[in-house]
Amino acid sequence: MRNRVVLCCKLLIPMALLLGGSLYAKVLINAAGATFPFPIYSKWFEEFPKQEPDVQINYQSIGSGGGIRQLAEGTVDFGASDMPMTDEQISRMKVKPLHFPTVLGGVVPTYNIPGVSQDLKFTPDALAGIFLGKISKWDDPALKSSNPGVALPSAAIIVVHRSDGSGTTFVFTDYLSKVSPAWKQSVGANTSVKWPAGIGAKGNEGVAGYVKQTPNSIGYVELIYAIQNHMGYGSVRNAAGNFVKADLESVTEAAAGAAKSMPDDFRVSITNAPGKRAYPISTFTWLLVPSKIDDPAKKKAITGLLRWMLLGGQKFAGPLGYAPLPKEVVAKEQKAIALVN
């Protein structure tokens, strides 16, 4: 009798594995895109599988442009971007992507000036002038007038910008296009632009690394990259006329107005937002999720990730230098998850 039981078990185990093996197999989700939120996405994609052990998420930090391109090519299950996709980009997609805001962040001007330890103040005209190549030395009057008492050197400014298609670049150039007619006319806003001046580096990591190693340089990076690399970054004069340094509160205030009137597709720009304490180069960042996912296991995993991201995942935002989503946006996104078919 005992031998029969053992034999039955030996026969049933392989049969169970054959019939139900898919229930225990890892669901591998491939994604790619923005470097701006990479620190928090790394944390999320490490934490979420602790809740759902059968899910594994592989995220490649290749820039927003790369994420949109790979989503269009169908080589990833979802993309990530700091720039909302345009109507034209969406029209070229085989499956319409849905935008899901994840967190808020700020793009900051970071610099490396030997002998200068103070936090610098930048007017919109000064930032535009530097990246247009019209302000070429640190002791230019446009910089000295905003920074009285700071011993700015008579040294050439080395401008560092992104070399890859980048949502961070879109946010920065979107801001400059709003505050500088000269920038809007000659350069404009996009993930990749024809830079009037400077040296290119890949990713937020590349720009931060280049600035840190290069005396008298300036670049733009997501806030967390400046914090993690112990780099100085300046305050920027906002629409209310106040110099504001990026932090959780000032980024959150920039989103306050947009949160109450968020469009149904979540595509919105919050650069140069009103508000006394609003940091002017702030942005949402988005996951780009196909509206139709044929694989049931992947659909369950991705929609589960979205729900967790909006609730449990938001607690990781602050410690990593990002502002959590406003509650109005979270409520609206929870309903939008049902649009993934």
Q: For tokens 């610099």, name the residue.
A: 111
Among residues 108, 103, 107, 97, the alpha carbon closest in space to that of 284 is found at 103
> Which residues, 6 or more positions from 245, have their beta carbon under 8 angstroms from its beta carbon?
119, 233, 234, 235, 279
Dist CA 169 CA 283 (whole Å): 12
- C-alpha distances (whole Å) from 254 to each of 117, 229, 325 are 27, 25, 12
For residues 4-10, average pLDDT: 43
**Rounded mean pLDDT, 24-46:** 91
Q: Is 273 helix (H, G, I), strand (E, B) or coil?
A: coil
Looking at residue 21, what is its pLDDT? Answer: 41
Stronger pLDDT, 2 or 315, i.e. the higher one? 315
pLDDT of 259 reads: 80
Judge if 26-104+284-339 and 106-260 fold alike in CATH terms.
yes
Overall average pLDDT of the 166-171 stretch: 90
Asked if residue 12 has pLDDT above 90, the reply is no
Give domain limits for the chain: 26-104+284-339, 106-260
- Specify the higher pLDDT residue, 93 or 19: 93
Give the residue with greater pLDDT, 65 vs 310: 310
Long-range contacts of 54-58 (CB under 8 A, 24+ apart): 54/24, 54/25, 54/26, 54/27, 54/301, 55/26, 55/27, 55/29, 55/301, 55/304, 55/305, 56/26, 56/27, 56/28, 56/29, 57/29, 57/31, 57/305, 58/28, 58/29, 58/30, 58/31
Does 327 score more than 60 pLDDT?
yes
Instruction: Compute and round to an integer the Cα radius of gyration of the chain.
Output: 23
Q: Please identify, in words, the CATH class of the domain defined by 106-260.
A: alpha beta
Tens digit of each residue's pLDDT (9 = 90 or more) over 140-159? 999 999 999 999 999 999 99
* Residue range 309-337: mean pLDDT, rounded: 93
The predicted structure's pLDDT at residue 256:
86
> According to the model, what pLDDT value does residue 149 have?
92
Q: Which of 105, 146, 138 is nearest to 122 (CA)?
A: 146
234 near 196, Cβ under 8 Å? no
Q: Tens digit of pLDDT for each residue in 101-149?
A: 999 999 999 999 999 988 999 999 999 999 999 999 999 999 999 999 9
Calculate what percentage of the chain has a pLDDT beyond 70.
93
pLDDT at 241: 97
Superfamily of domain 26-104+284-339: Periplasmic binding protein-like II (3.40.190.10)
What pLDDT score was predicted for residue 140? 97
